[in-house]
Amino acid sequence: MFNDGGTWYVLEAVQPVVYTPLTSWITHGERNHYVVKRLKDTSVLTPTAIACIKEQGKGYLGKHYDLTFEWNDDRIYCSELVWKLYKNCTNIEVGDLKKLSDFDLTSPIVAAKIKERYGNNVPLNETVISPADIFTDEDLVTVFSN
C-alpha cells in the first residue's frame, strides 16, 4: 500500500496485476473488512527498500494471474507478489514457503479445482506461499483492522 498524490493504492495480483485505489480494494473484501500489517522491525523499510519495492512492483504490472501457482515470474499470484517483493528488496521472507504437497488437497472443492487446473499432473513439489502463511507470520504486526 502506498500514497500517490493523496490517494492510497494497493498493488495487487488480480487479472492482471494492477494498482487499485484502496477505497476500491476494500470493497472486494467480505463486508469491507481488511487488515493492514507491517514488519515489526521497521528499520529494514529504508527509503532504498521502499523505492525497490515500488520499482520492482511496477515490473509486475500487467502480468497475468497465476492460477497454477508456479514459482516463476511469467505469471504471478497474490501472496507470491508480496513474498517476492519483500525478499528481493529487504531479504526478509514473509511467511514460510511450502510445497503444494504440504496442503490438504483432499476436500471435494479443492480436489475438483486441482483437477481442473492440473489434470492428472499435479506438481506436488512446486514451491508456494499462501496468504495465510504471510498473514500469520510472527514478524508482522497489525497496524490497522476494521
Coil vs helix vs strand at 24: helix
**pTM of this prediction?**
0.91
Is residue 131 a part of any domain in this protein? no
Domain with residue 40: its CATH number is: 3.90.1720.10
Mean pLDDT of successive 10-residue stretches along the chain, which has 146 residues? 90 95 92 92 94 95 95 96 97 96 94 94 96 96 93
- If one counts the domains in the chain, the total is 1
**Range(s) of the domain holding residue 25:** 2-94+137-145
Cα–Cα distance for residue pair 26/46, rounded to 1 Å: 27
Question: What local confidence, expressed as pLDDT, does residue 11 receive?
Answer: 95
**Which residues are CB-contacts of 20 (< 8 A; sequence separation ≥ 6)?**
9, 10, 11, 12, 14
Cα–Cα distance for residue pair 45/38, rounded to 1 Å: 10
Is residue 72 a part of any domain in this protein? yes
Question: What local confidence, expressed as pLDDT, does residue 97 receive?
Answer: 97
Q: How far apart are the first and last CA of the chain?
A: 16
